Structure 1
Amino acid sequence: MTTRWLTPEEQRAWRAYVAGYLLLEDTIDRQLQQEAGMPHLYYSILANLSEAPERRLRMTDLAERLKITRSRLTYAVTRLEKDGLLRREECRWDKRGSVAVLTDEGMTVLERAAPGHVETVRAFLFDRLTPEQVGQLEEIFTQVTQGLQGGDSEAVPEDLPWRRRSSPCSGTP
């Protein structure tokens, strides 16, 4: 197979994406650490649970929403559970699974952290884009996401993060 090297335009776009993503993620993570005492991943777990019916999600569904491995999710959930921000329950419809549930304390922490988080995202991303660019950003990453999750059968990774387990005893279904 012949390597299809990136064109100079593609190379510039790729490097701009990588630099922007890494800097933005670092900025968001630092803001949340400073103001809420938690990394971006923990905030994302709480936010996803807050939007779910009854503030609960099966661990495998939560891992899929976050696009992370089940073992990484288990580690984060264990820490959040220890801090009283969520709890785990057995899955009523699948005894092999477990459900993460956002506690009232977790909701309070999320509500306190949300304004600073939203302001950081707005200041460092959306305030720098035109409304047309916001639409393009959504369109571009919807297309990329669909391709990586099954929309393009040639390019779909078989080993999606939320399906991975680092060991057979990761504690999630």
Structure 2
Amino acid sequence: MSDRAITVAAWESLFRTQVTIMRALAAEFPSEVISLNEYDVLFNITRAPGRRLRLKDLNRNVLITQPSVSRLVDRLVARGLVAKTHDPNDGRGTVVAITNEGFALFRRVAITHMEAIDRHVGQGLDDDELRTLTELCNRLRVSVGETPDSAGVSDD
């Protein structure tokens, strides 16, 4: 068991760092093209097998509430960036898939966003430190019951 004061100090540091970096990334994000929340939805869909994801699973992975996700997905459908279909395995469920137009837009924005992430995160830590940070964050997520995704840095 760790010392409570150290735990709280580590949390404060992690939280403040995340807020600082998110503000810097948001300031550079091409929000005139797509919002950060829309990008988050497209990001999660593109990482799913076949670039298709059950709405229920999407809700678990994005940073906004379920009603907001449903409205946001409807706006993305209206813009032709995603398509919604009934889940063939669960008649009550919905599957969301990214369209070709949505994927092209996502890739364009992702390149810019990744460059900003590299500037604000990658230039502050070396590769070994980034791998350690990824491992530590994944361990924290597991400790609160979440299964970390496979988006971490590989050793390849």
TM-score, normalised by the number of residues in structure 2: 0.81
Q: Measure the CA separation in 2 of the matches of 1:150 and 1:58.
A: 18
Which 5+ residue runs of structure 2 have no aligned equivalent?
148-156
> In structure 2, do the counterparts of structure 1 residues 71 and 144 end up closer, same or farther at CA, with 3 Å as the change threshold?
same
Partner of 2:123: 127
Q: How does 1:139-158 map to 2 (within 5 A)?
A: 139-149=135-145
Establish whether residue 73 from structure 1 lines up as the match of residue 69 from structure 2.
yes
**4+ runs deviating over 6 angstroms:** none
Partner of 2:24: 27
Residue 11 (structure 1) shift: 4.1
> In structure 2, do the counterparts of structure 1 residues 88 and 150 end up closer, same or farther at CA, with 3 Å as the change threshold?
closer
Residue 50 (structure 1) shift: 1.9
Determine which structure has the larger strand proportion and give its number.
2
Q: What secondary structure does 1:95 align onto?
A: strand
Residue 95 (structure 1) shift: 0.9
Q: What secondary structure does 1:37 align onto?
A: coil
Structure ID, larger Rg: 1
Q: Aligned pairs, how many?
A: 146
Which of residues 12, 25, 32 in structure 2 aligns to 1:15? 12
Aligned-pair identity (%): 23
Q: Measure the CA separation in 1 of the matches of 2:62 and 2:80.
A: 21
Which of residues 54, 79, 83 in structure 2 aligns to 1:87? 83
Which letter does structure 2 place at the counterpart of 1:149?
G
- Does structure 1 retain, via aligned residues, the 8 Å contact 2:37–2:64? no
